[in-house]
Amino acid sequence: LGVYMPATVTPGTYAMDLNAGVYFGSYNPTTAKPLFAIGNGSLTILENDLVNKRIKGNFSFIAKSQTDSSSATISDGYFSVSY
C-alpha cells in the first residue's frame, strides 16, 4: 500500500488520481497486479512538519487495475510517519 504526494504538501484535502500524477494511491496485492487510485480517492493531510519531517493524514480510494477489471476498496486509511 502506498500513498504519494509532494514532500511540501500543506494541510487540506486532495483528490487522488494517478492520471494527474501528483496525489495518488497504490495497492499491490501481488507483484504482477498493481492497482491504482484513478480519479476516485481522497487524501487529507492533517499535519506536515517540514522541520521535523513528520506527516499525518487520512486517505481512502478504490484501487483499480489498468489492464483488467480487478479492484480493491481501501477505506479509513491513516498514516503518521517520518520522512
- Round the average pLDDT of the chain to a whole number and report it: 94
Say whether pLDDT at 23 is over 90: yes
Q: Does 10 have pLDDT greater than 80?
A: yes
Q: Residue 55 pLDDT > 80, yes or no? A: yes
How does strand 54-64 pair with strand 35-37? Answer: antiparallel
Give the pLDDT score at 59: 98
pLDDT tens track for 27-52: 998 878 889 998 889 999 999 999 99
Q: What is the pTM of this model?
A: 0.89
